Amino acid sequence: MYGAARDVAPPVLRAVLAALDLPAATPAQTADTLARWRARPPAMLTARAGGMLRVPGDTATRYAIELDDGQVAHGLAEPDGAGGLALRAPRQPGYHTLRLGSASIALAVAPPRTPRPPRARQAWAWD
C-alpha cells in the first residue's frame, strides 16, 4: 500500500542499498556510504539575495556562480565551523548556477522583498 510504513529485514534493505550503489554489508561500508551521502552536493539551493549559503565540504574551495544574465562571479567558499562551507549568494535575484569543485548546483535567489500590488479601488466587487 502506498504511503504505509513497512518493516524490512536488514538483508533486504542492504540488497536494495547495494543496488543503488550504497553498499552497507559491513559496518565499514555503512560508514563509508553514509559519509558519501552526507558529502554529496544538493541538486538545488535557495537563498535570499546577498544572503549566506551553506554547502557540504570541509576545505576552502574556489567557486564560480554563473548568473542568469551571463555574468560570472568567482570566490572562495570557506569552512563555516559547523562542518560545511559558507559563501555569499549573489545580490541579483534569479536562477543561477553554482560551480563548486566538480559539482554544478542550481541556485534560486529570491529578492529581499517583493513589491506590493497596487491598491485596487474595489478588489472585492465585480465590475
Q: Taking Cα atoms as reference points, which of 37, 127, 53, 38 lies closest to residue 96?
A: 53
CA distance 58 to 107: 20
- Predicted pLDDT of residue 65: 98
pLDDT above 80 for 121: no
| pLDDT tens track for 30-69 | 889 888 888 788 899 999 999 999 998 888 999 999 999 9
CA distance 72 to 62: 13
Which carries the bigger pLDDT value, residue 14 or residue 121?
14
Burial of 55 from C-beta contacts in 10 A (0-12 / 13-18 / 19+): buried
Query: DSSP string of 89-121?
Result: PPSS-EEEEEEETTEEEEEEEE-SS-PPPPPPS
Domains recognised in the chain with CATH numbers: 8-39 (no CATH), 40-113 (2.60.40.10)
